[in-house]
Chains A and B, each alone.
Chain A
Amino acid sequence: MSGATVELRGVTKRYGSTLAVDELSFTVPAGRICVLVGPSGCGKTTSLRMMNRLIEPTSGEILIDGQNVLHEDPVALRRRIGYVIQQVGLFPHETVAANIATVPQLLGWSRDRIRARVDELLALIGLDRNMKERYPAQLSGGERQRVGVARAMAAEPPLMLMDEPFGAVDPIVRNRLQDEFLNLQRTLGITVIFVTHDIDEAIKLGDRVAVMRTGKLVQYSPPAELLAHPADDFVAQFVGHDRALKRLGLLTVGGIELDRTIDRSRLGAAPTLSPSTSVRDALAALLVADARAAAVVDGSNYLGAITLPAIGRMLRGDDAK
């Protein structure tokens, strides 16, 4: 399966005299994750629900691979778009297997094809095959979320809409589900539009982050750009005072310019880091070791040193392009 391109053009939703969504326009390239983020009531969920026409836009166009969804039959449209919500909405009276089979069954797949697909998805989300005949009440919160994601992916949709899908589980499980989800999305290459009110989740998952406020799009950019150059005070406040630190969390020591003038022998007692360490964790390691520099080592290969002054320059944004 591969992703679909999604384009919104001047999408507006009006309830009486209030504007819930105001002239929303942006494009999500195929295979990317776009996160809609903003405080409650900013119109992010309304925007998402217009994309599969659970809510009808007042005006504007929504194009999936160039086709205006407003000219399509809503039921057929929804069957080719994955949909995951915070409360999951698993059908309590159906087994895990039957829940996952929902859309393939609506599409009239053969029994054998559905059974094979259910097994494949269970393996993909890391759920044991003997869970198939369980009912949702017998699952943990994390397992329910996984089944919800599997159900949404069952008919290989090129686009998934996810409304705070990890909002109802505890932080440890949420973190693990996010990692699993990222892996899955990278493997499958589907396009995802994801709603959250949690800026950290947006930065972690998004290839693009769309910040919304009172129905308007305030900024639409990659997470690093959002942290480095917030469009206005609202966005700056929303991403948090620690945005510089958060930005360090997006960079790895293997991905930045290292100081090669410092010889390995001078770093005897200094911390040793692998290239996949985030710059944020490198900073923590330096502070804990009370060191000014750390060695970045790939296996036995010395790549260079990362120094406190260099991290300081990054924090101040001297490196910003």
Chain B
Amino acid sequence: MTPNEPLVRWDWLASHAGEIGFRVGEHLELTAIAVAVGLVVAFALSFAVLRIPRLYPPVTTVTGILYTIPSLALFAFLVPYTGLSVLTAEIGLVSYTLLILIRNIVNGIRSVPSDVRDAAQGMGYTPRQILWRIELPLALAVIFAGIRIATITTIGLVTVTALIGEGGLGYFILLGMQELFSTPLLVGAVGSILFAIAADSALVLLQRALTPWARVR
């Protein structure tokens, strides 16, 4: 870092306000797509696991392996096939959400009290009605816990995708490191932390709105 330079150059912030806004939007988009696609894939796999319990070990093994691959290595591995693209970034980001989401969906549904399920079946709910009207609503708290972890993890990982030309706020971190210039580095780092906190708070509020019964007593 250049000597005598202040930690934050406010004039740089002012002159780059438009670009900062654009990168925040990009970060949001990359995160939202990853979590949304992750949820769709995770629900599909979870329903399969709930119907055929034998599938659970292989599904957690495969998603567990995906989860442990270092992100940089995964992106480097994907670039020859899918290039420096949003697709490459999203394949990586989605694959990191799966383990957490599937575990929480499956365990959330399995933890629905058996007497509630028994009563529902005994009163004439069809299996589909039991899933949609009983099991999913009651599993919501556990599923939301998974969505929150997946979202925060994804927000962190999006910064890494700066290395393959995406990255949202990660772009500023990369820029700061390349030019030994602390202001953009701080914008990227502090910005993604604030973004994670905001996203998590929004999810907590959404969960509270969706589960009014959990607030009573």
List residues of A whose CB falls within 8 A of some B CB.
52, 54, 75-79, 83, 85-94, 102-103, 106, 134-135, 137-138, 151-152, 161
Contacts and interface: CB of A to CB of B under 8 A. Distances in A.
Contacts of B213: 92-94, 135, 137
Interface string B111-130: 00101111111111110010
A276 to B, nearest CB: 37
B123 A103 contact: yes
A100 B140 CA distance: 23
Contacts, number: 66
Contacts of A86: 115
B138 A92 contact: yes
Given A78-B121, A92-B138, A138 B126 contact: no
A56 to B, nearest CB: 13
B211 A93 contact: yes
Nearest to B133: A91
Nearest to A154: B123
Interface of B: 113, 115-126, 129, 134, 137-138, 211, 213, 216-217
B123 A83 contact: yes
Nearest to A151: B123
B131 to A, nearest CB: 14
Given A137-B213, A137-B216, A137-B217, A85 B115 contact: yes
Instruction: Tell which of B122, B137, B211, B213 has the most Cβ of chain A within 10 Å.
Output: B122
Given A88-B115, A89-B115, A93-B137, A76 B217 contact: no
A253 B117 CA distance: 47
12 contacts: A54-B118, A76-B124, A83-B123, A85-B118, A86-B115, A89-B116, A90-B119, A92-B116, A92-B138, A138-B217, A151-B123, A152-B123
B60 to A, nearest CB: 28
A138 B216 contact: yes
Contact of B138 (A75, A77, A93, A135): A93
Contacts of B211: 93
Given A91-B134, A93-B213, A137-B217, A103 B115 contact: no
Contacts of A137: 213, 216-217
Instruction: Tell which of A75, A76, A89, A106 has the most Cβ of chain B within 10 Å.
Output: A89
B78 to A, nearest CB: 41
Instruction: Tell which of A54, A76, A83, A93 has the most Cβ of chain B within 10 Å.
Output: A93
B126 A75 contact: yes
B116 A83 contact: no
A152 B124 CA distance: 11
Contacts of B116: 89-92
Instruction: Tell which of A54, A78, A134, A138 has the most Cβ of chain B within 10 Å.
Output: A78
Contacts of A89: 113, 115-120
B123 A102 contact: yes
